[in-house]
Structure 1
Amino acid sequence: MAARANWKGHLRLSLVSCSVGLYPAVSTSAHLKCHTINRETGNRIKQLIVDSVTEEPVDREDQIKGCEVAKDELVPIEGDELDEIALESTHTINIEAFCRRSEVDERYLDRPYYLAAEDKVSREAFAVIRDAMKKKGMAGLGRLVIYKRERIVLLEPYGKGLLATLLRYHDEIRSPTAYFEDMPDGTPTDEMRSLAEELIERATRKFDPKTFEDRYEGALIALVQGKASKSGKRSKATKAAAKTSGNVVNLMEALKRSIASEKSGAPRSEGRKAGTKAPARSASGSTARKATTRKSASRKKAA
C-alpha cells in the first residue's frame, strides 16, 4: 500500500484477530501553506523554545512532559515512565461493543481513518469481522492509543475495509443549554413557514461535496499569484470572492424575493442577513425619485 500507516497493530473480536494498519482518510496537503515571516527581510521566523523563568534555550533532549497538579506546580514525567503504563490498546483495537451508527451523536465524531488488513494472512479474518458487521448493520466500538493518548474508535464497514472514526470523550462535549436556554422561541407566521418550506423543497438535491469549493482559499491563491507576479493589483477572482450584494429589508421580503429568484432562475443575492434594515435613503434622493415617478405617470396619461 502506497500510503504510510499512522498506526499499526491488531484488530480483535473475541478470539478472532488480524493485523491492521490505520491510514488518514482526510488530507490538508492541497491547502496553500502560509508562514510567519519578517516584513523587513521576507525571511521565515524561527521559533526558539526557552525556559519560562531563566529564558535560556532548552535543547530537545531536555524537553519532557510536566503534568500540572496545582497552579504553577508541575510533576515531571520521563519518556520511559510513559512506556511503562502502555495499555493493551497501544497495539490492539479490541472491539468491546456494538451499536447502531445512528445512535452515535454527531458531536462525538472527531477524525476519520481507513482501517485495512496489513497482510494476506490477515485478510480472511478481517473480511469475517467486516462482513459480519455489515450483515448485522452494526458499528463496533473499541479503543486505541494514538499520538500518546487513548482514544475511543468507531468502526464501520466501508467498501473493502473499515472506516475508523476517533470519538471525543463525554467530558469534551459542551452542553447546549447555556447557549440555547435564553434563545427566544420566535413566532413565525404560517405564511413565513410555508415560504421557507418552499425554498427548502426547491433547493433539495442529493449531497455532492464536489459542488462546494473553498472560495476563501481560491481568493487567497489568486491574491498570492497576483502579488507574486508583482502586478500589485487584485485579480478578478479575488474581487469576485469579496463582493457582496443585496438589499434585504425584512424576513418576509427576503423569503418572497428568494422564491421569486428561484422561479426566475436568477442567482440568489448574498446581502445583509434577514431581519436587518436597509440604510436610510437621503431626503434628496427620495425626492428626486418621487419627481421622476410623477413625470413618468404624466407622460403615460398624455399618451
Structure 2
Amino acid sequence: MHTMWKGTISFGLVNIPVKLHSATENKDIKLRNLHKECQSPVQYEKTCPVCDKEVTNDDIVKGFEYTKNKFVILEDEDLEQLKEAKDDKSVEIVDFVKLEEIDPIYFDRSYYLSPNDGGGKAYSLLRQALEETGKIGLAKITIRSKEHLAVVRIYKNTLVMETIHYPDEVRAVGEVPNVPEEDNIVEKELETAKMLIDQLTTEFEPEKYTDEYRTALLDLIEQKKEGKEVATAKEPEKPDNVTDLMEALEKSLNKTKKGKGGTRKKKTTTGQKKKTTASTQKKKSG
C-alpha cells in the first residue's frame, strides 16, 4: 500500500511515528474525449483570452478574486513562508471525544495509519486506550499545505484518521429551500411507513452493495472489445528534418526575392551622375 505521508501522532508527551495510507480509492471509469474523425485523444491547452496565446506554467501566478475581476496576487514566496510556519509532519491530538457526538455530515476522507519504524508499541498503546475508553482523538494535521481537522479512531484493529470539515465549511440547514416547518401526517400513514422500515431493516453488510452502473459499463466495454469494436488512435506525424530544412530554405529564398522586387531603387554613384550630365550637355550643344 502506497505511503503518502510520514510523521507522528502526538498526544501529551507521547509521539508515535506513523505512515499515512489512503483508505479509499475512486473506482470511477474514466472516459477520454477523442476526435471523432481520427479517434485521437483531444488535448487541452491553457490559453489567455486577452493575449490570445498559449501560456506555460512559468507564465502563471496565483490570485484570489476578492470581487469581480479584482485579484490579490500571491507569489510563490508568500505561500512558501506560510508552509514553513506550519509543522506538516504531525497529527496533533488536541482533544478526546465520543464518536457519536460528531454528525456524519462532518466526515470527509479516510486514511489508514500504520506504525513507522520503532512505533509499534506506542501504536498498540494508543489503540488499546481508545478501545477501552470508547473515545476518539480529535486532531489537526496539514496535508499538501492545507490544515485539516481530523479524528483518529479504530477500524478493525487498525488506527484510522478521517479528515472532517470545519464548522464554517458545513452550510447552514436554514439555507435549504422548501423544507416544511410542521408535520401534517396522518397516523395511519405513519404506522404504515414504520412497518415498511421494520420489514426492510437488516444488518449492514457493505459487500452486498455494488455500483450497478459501473458494472454495466465495464460489461459493455468488454463486449465491444470482444466484438472488435475498437478504435486505434492515429500517431501524429513526426516532422521530417529534411523536409523542414527544405521548407525553411524555400521560405528564406522567397523572402529574399520579395526583398529584391521593383520597389527598391537602384543606387547611382557620383561618377555615374557626372557622366550622365556631360553626355546631356554634349547632346544639347550638338
The code of the aligned residue for 2:158 comes to G
Give the Cα separation in 2 of the matches to 1:203 and 1:11.
42
The code of the aligned residue for 2:95 comes to A
Distance 1:231 1:62, change over 3 A: closer
The 3-state SS of whatever aligns with 1:85 is helix
Greater length-normalized contact order (CA 8 Å, ≥ 6 residues apart): 2
Distance 1:55 1:10, change over 3 A: farther
Q: Determine if the alignment matches structure 1 residue 26 to structure 2 residue 28.
A: no
Residue 194 of structure 1 and its aligned partner are, at CA, apart by 2.1
Unaligned stretches of 5+ residues in structure 2: 230-286
List aligned pairs for 1:70-85, cutoff 5 A: 70-85=67-82
Distance 1:196 1:32, change over 3 A: same
Give the Cα separation in 2 of the matches to 1:141 and 1:100.
10
The structure number with the bigger radius of gyration is 2
Residue 151 of structure 1 and its aligned partner are, at CA, apart by 0.7
RMSD (Å) for aligned C-alpha atoms: 2.2
Q: Determine if the alignment matches structure 1 residue 203 to structure 2 residue 200.
A: yes
Q: Determine if the alignment matches structure 1 residue 194 to structure 2 residue 191.
A: yes
Which of 51, 58, 68 matches 2:65?
68
List aligned pairs for 1:134-213, cutoff 5 A: 134-179=131-176, 182-183=179-180, 185-213=182-210
Give the Cα separation in 1 of the matches to 2:181 and 2:94.
43
Give the Cα separation in 2 of the matches to 1:74 and 1:179.
31
Q: Which residue of 1 aligns with 2:100?
A: 102
Give the Cα separation in 2 of the matches to 1:231 and 1:117.
49
TM-score in terms of structure 1 length:
0.68
Give the Cα separation in 1 of the matches to 2:131 and 2:145.
31
The 3-state SS of whatever aligns with 1:195 is helix
The code of the aligned residue for 2:121 comes to E
The code of the aligned residue for 2:199 comes to R
Residue 22 of structure 1 and its aligned partner are, at CA, apart by 1.1
Aligned residue pairs total 228
**Paired residues of 1:97 and 1:141 also in contact (CA < 8 A):** yes
Give the Cα separation in 2 of the matches to 1:96 and 1:177.
31
The code of the aligned residue for 1:202 comes to Q
Which of 16, 23, 37 matches 1:40?
37
Give the Cα separation in 2 of the matches to 1:195 and 1:230.
50
Distance 1:21 1:55, change over 3 A: farther
Q: Which residue of 2 aligns with 1:114?
A: 112
Give the Cα separation in 1 of the matches to 2:213 and 2:203.
24
Which of 129, 132, 135 matches 1:132?
129
Give the Cα separation in 1 of the matches to 2:16 and 2:181.
54
Q: Which residue of 2 aligns with 1:123?
A: 120
